[in-house]
Amino acid sequence: MSTADAWSSKPATALLVLSDGSVIEGEGFGATGQSVGEVCFNTAMTGYQEILTDPSYAGQIITFTFPHIGNVGANDEDVETVNMTSQSGIRGCVLSARITDPANYRSAKHLDTWLKARGIAGISGVDTRALTALIREKGVPNAVIAHDPDGNFDIEALKAEAAAWPGLEGMDLAKEVSATQTHPWSEGTWEWDKGYPDRDSSEFKVIALDFGVKRNILRLLNDAGCDVTVVPADTPADAILEQNPDGVFLANGPGDPAATGTYAATTIKTLIDKGVPTFGICLGHQMMALALGGKTIKMHQGHHGANHPVKDNTTGKVEITSMNHGFAVDGTSLPDNVEETHVSLFDGSNCGLRVKDKPAFSVQYHPEASPGPRDSHYLFTRFTDMMRNART
């Protein structure tokens, strides 16, 4: 799968060793060392820094199908991780072309330098089309990514490590990327020549249950008039209800929802039963389904990209969405009081639900985008309308 590049006659300085024993050679960049994770592919053409800092990718090695990654550099504004101590949890990245020097006025540093600082190893010179085809055919593999500038690798040991890694099923990764302490959020969305200004939004008091929340979600909640307080993933329902919120937001996040649900589903069920307006995204959507009695399943290849068509059954409209998930809600497992509101037009998988007799809804995709289309921003208004109606 190696690309015939100018460096191809030199010893490989990076390897991607799959759990089936396949060895993919390439040129290393970013941090040195090795890491094990699940290999997925992302089809987005823009926003690689937001993708690399999305906590939902914890435990995964990202293969970018777009060949030119790093050409606009990196900066401190396009980071999506809220809990900076977690470094988002991504295990590595795989590229087709070598990273070029940045050419963008917002660039503050080279992507290679930025990755080194964050401890993320990468491999370039890979035929990412072939790797993507392999994932589509056989499903997401586990793998070890290794980078050594001298090209010294114990390939048999790397094969054994990749084969022994248990995979994401059964892993609760939300606690690894969640906030460790309660904290307020006042930052709004980006404005030209201003960055991310603080806004005094106080119409609604919202508690955000952090399973690995992205910054732009919190910014859009702020823009919508929400005074947001972020709380750790394992915060119990009583502690949330004591704050008397107008609504609760269930964040995105990584790992197996069934594992996180062992402690979070009970909390969410209590909040919904109490009639607290509740809105979930991604892992938060899966958590809501589990709280309502539904089930989740591991997907063959997952959905990762910014071009996924989803139909809103409540309006009949189709929106192009940004997605990042390897597990999905089993739509057939939802109880009678839950309506399936959104479906993927790629594979028919569940992408949204609504509780018929309570003010609660959720979606599988990322309506905040960053990166991705903004077709789904209306959902934040739907949440504030729900809180406003609950007051009356």
Instruction: Share the mean pLDDT of the chain.
Output: 95
Q: What is the pTM of this model?
A: 0.95
User: Is residue 1 scored above 70 in pLDDT?
Assistant: no
Task: Please confirm, yes or no, whether 340 is among the known catalytic residues.
Answer: no
Task: Go through the chain and tell me how many residues it has.
Answer: 392
Q: How confident is the model at residue 92 (pLDDT cuts 50, 70, 90)?
A: very high
* Residues 6 or more apart whose Cβ sits within 8 Å of residue 313: 339, 340, 341, 342, 343
Q: How confident is the model at residue 86 (pLDDT cuts 50, 70, 90)?
A: low
What residues does 81 pair with on adjacent strands?
Answer: 214
Question: Using one digit for the tens of pLDDT, what is the confidence trace for 117-142?
Answer: 999 999 999 999 999 999 999 999 99
**Rg (alpha carbons) of the chain, rounded to whole number:** 21
Task: Please confirm, yes or no, whether 351 is among the known catalytic residues.
Answer: no
User: Is residue 292 scored above 50 in pLDDT?
Assistant: yes
User: Is residue 10 scored above 90 in pLDDT?
Assistant: no
Domains of the chain: 14-164 (3.50.30.20), 174-391 (3.40.50.880)
User: Is residue 88 scored above 70 in pLDDT?
Assistant: no
User: Is residue 210 scored above 80 in pLDDT?
Assistant: yes
Among candidate residues 27, 50, 319, 368, the one labeled active-site is 368
**Cα dihedral 202→205→206→207 (10° resolution):** 120
* Cβ atoms 243, 229 nearer than 8 A: yes
* Cβ atoms 227, 250 nearer than 8 A: no
Among candidate residues 303, 304, 308, 366, the one labeled active-site is 366
Best CA proximity match to 129, nearest among 163, 91, 94: 94
Q: How far apart are CA 86 and CA 175, in angstroms?
A: 10
Instruction: Give Dmax (Cα) for the chain.
Output: 71
User: Is residue 43 scored above 80 in pLDDT?
Assistant: yes
How would you label 95-133 residue by residue, b for 16+ Cβ within 10 Å and e otherwise? bbbbbeebeeeebeebbbebbbebebbbbbbbbbeebbe
pLDDT at position 359, please?
98
Question: Using one digit for the tens of pLDDT, what is the confidence trace for 186-205?
Answer: 999 988 888 888 888 789 99
Among candidate residues 38, 282, 285, 325, the one labeled active-site is 282
pLDDT at position 200, please?
80
What are 223's two structure tokens? 């823009």
Stretch 250-275: mean pLDDT: 98
Task: Please confirm, yes or no, whether 282 is among the known catalytic residues.
Answer: yes
